[in-house]
């Protein structure tokens, strides 16, 4: 059920993946690029259906970042 105009919808978050109740439809990952791939891999067994990554340092940063990006997608 959506929020009425002027109201915010509660968004829950957890600091540890082990504490997240499954299933999860969407995870938002905001970490340095060197940590993103391993975290996204750990989301699969939790039943996560979609992931939004908020990070910089992938293909725009050169070959190392491009390799991380390719691993991610």
Residues 67 and 41: their CA atoms lie apart, in Å, by 16
Q: What pLDDT was estimated at residue 17?
A: 79
Task: Tell me the pLDDT tens digit for each residue of 26-70.
Answer: 889 999 999 999 999 998 888 888 999 999 999 999 999 999 999
The answer, yes or no, to whether residue 6 has pLDDT greater than 80, is: no
The answer, yes or no, to whether residue 22 has pLDDT greater than 60, is: yes
The answer, yes or no, to whether residue 8 has pLDDT greater than 80, is: no
Residue 69 Cα distances to 22, 26, 27, 66, angstroms: 26, 19, 17, 5
Query: CB–CB of 63/38 below 8 Å?
Result: no
Q: Is the pTM of this model over 0.85?
A: no
In angstroms, how far is the first alpha carbon of the chain from the final one? Answer: 32
């Amino acid at each position: 059920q959506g929020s009425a105009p002027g109201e915010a919808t509660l968004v829950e978050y957890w600091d540890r993946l082990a504490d997240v109740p499954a299933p999860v439809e969407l995870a938002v990952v905001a970490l340095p690029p060197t940590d993103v791939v391993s975290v996204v891999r750990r989301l699969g067994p939790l039943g996560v259906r979609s992931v939004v990554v908020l990070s910089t340092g992938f293909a725009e940063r050169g070959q190392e970042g491009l390799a991380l990006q390719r691993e991610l997608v």
